[in-house]
Amino acid sequence: MGALFIRDIRLGLRAGGGVLIGILFFLAVITVVPFGVGPDLKLLARIGAAMLWIGALLATLLGLDRLFQADRDDGSLDLLIMASERHMLALTVLIKCLAHWTVSVLPLVVASPLLGLFMNMEPAAIGATTLTLLVGTPAITLIGAVGAAVAVSLPRGGLLVSVIILPLTVPVLIFGVSASYGAVEDPAPFLAPFLILAAITLFFAVLGPLAAAAALKSSAD
């Protein structure tokens, strides 16, 4: 299992452009929003958390469709499925998700405080947003794994994967954003949505790999 994690991390760093393209896209999102809302710093600060979340959500989608596709194309997926008695397939999926998250999403989370500064957000808001991103984005990857597994046999599943999973990521987004707001606006609570967010991540950490494993098993041909 550790070996799989290390292999996927290596692959991500060495070959897939995922990391940098993801960050770049994230930056692009954050750069153009001020053009839209104008130089109104207050407004920017208000929608800052939402923008960071939307940017992170969309950036996570980039490259997610290749999560299993690459392994299928070179025959590795067959062997991973065959090994399912040694390593439960759901666990294999979980590890692959973790590696993908570490390589393509973690850098965004790390970069988000900087972008929060650009958006004129308060320090507390920045901290809260980063924290919610850290806790919430794994859920997106895990949900995405289901879509990637369902679409694995399609050579260009990219868009399809996003279509399948975007409606499912809506709750994550909602609770992530509301927790971030909760940290600065007084009536709104922080802890409740944050805990729900954590619960969603944990829930999908179980359900996502199981569903993805089922889809992968039936995809072998």
Partner 1 sequence: MSETVSKTARWIDWANPTRFMTFAAAFLPWLGGLTTLVLAVGFWMSMQAPDDYQQGATVKIMFIHVPFAWLSMMCYTIMTLAALGTLVWRHPLADVSAKAAAPIGAVFTALALVTGSLWGKPMWGTWWVWDARLTSVFVLFLMYLGIIALTRAIDDPAKSAKATAILTLVGFINIPIIKFSVDWWNTLHQPASVLRMGGSTIDPSLLWPLLVMAIGFTLLFFTLHMQAMRNEIWRRRVVAMRRVAARSAERRTVQ
Partner 2 sequence: MRLIAENLAGERGGDLLFEGLDFTVPSGEALLVTGPNGAGKSTLLRIIAGLLAKAAGQVRLEQISGGFESLTAASHYLGHLNAMKPVLSVEENLRFWGSFNGQGKLSIADALERVGLGDIGYLPFGYLSTGQKRRASIARLLVSNRPVWLLDEPTAGLDKASERQFAALMQDHLRGGGIIVAATHLPLGLGNTRELALGAAA
Give me the residues that bind partner 1 (CB under 8 A), please. 14-18, 20-21, 24, 27-28, 31, 34-35, 38-41, 44, 117-118, 120, 146, 150-151, 153-154, 157, 160, 163-164, 166-168, 170-171, 174-175, 178, 181, 188, 193, 211, 214-215, 218-219, 221
In the complex with partner 1, the residue whose CB is nearer, 205 or 214, is 214
CB atoms within 10 A of CB 144: 30
In the complex with partner 2, the residue whose CB is nearer, 42 or 156, is 156
Angle, alpha carbons 7-12-18 (nearest 5°): 160
CB 211, CB 149: distance < 8 Å:
yes
In the complex with partner 2, the residue whose CB is nearer, 82 or 110, is 82
Contacting residues for 23 by C-beta, under 8 A, at least 6 apart: 59, 107, 108, 111
Residue 217 CA to residue 38 CA, distance in Å, equals 50
Interface with its own copies (CB under 8 A), residue from 4, 63, 95, 130: 63
Burial per residue of 109-136, b for 16 or more beta-carbon CB atoms within 10 angstroms, e otherwise = bebbbebbeebbbeeebbbbbbbbbebb
CB 137, CB 109: distance < 8 Å:
yes
Which residues here bind partner 2, judged by CB under 8 A? 1-4, 6-7, 10-11, 14-15, 73-76, 78-79, 81-87, 155-156, 220-221
Both structure tokens of 12:
């991500």
Helices vs strands, H then E, count in the chain: 10, 0
In the complex with partner 2, the residue whose CB is nearer, 5 or 25, is 5
Of partner 2, its own copies, partner 1, none, which one sits near residue 88, judging by CB under 5 to 8 A according to partner kind?
none
Rounded least distance, CB 180 to partner 2, Å: 37
Rounded least distance, CB 141 to partner 2, Å: 20
**Among 123, 184, 150, 171, which Cα is nearest to 64's?**
150
Q: Is 39 exposed, middle or buried (0-12, 13-18, 19+ CB in 10 A)?
A: exposed
In the complex with its own copies, the residue whose CB is nearer, 2 or 36, is 36
With CB under 8 A as the contact rule, which of the stretches 75-83, 88-96, 164-172, 201-209 interacts with its own copies? 164-172
Q: Applying CB under 8 A, which residues contact its own copies?
A: 11-12, 14-17, 20-22, 24-25, 27-29, 31-33, 35-38, 43, 46-51, 53-54, 57-59, 61-63, 65-66, 70, 73, 104, 151, 154-160, 162-163, 166-167, 169-170, 173-174, 177-178, 181
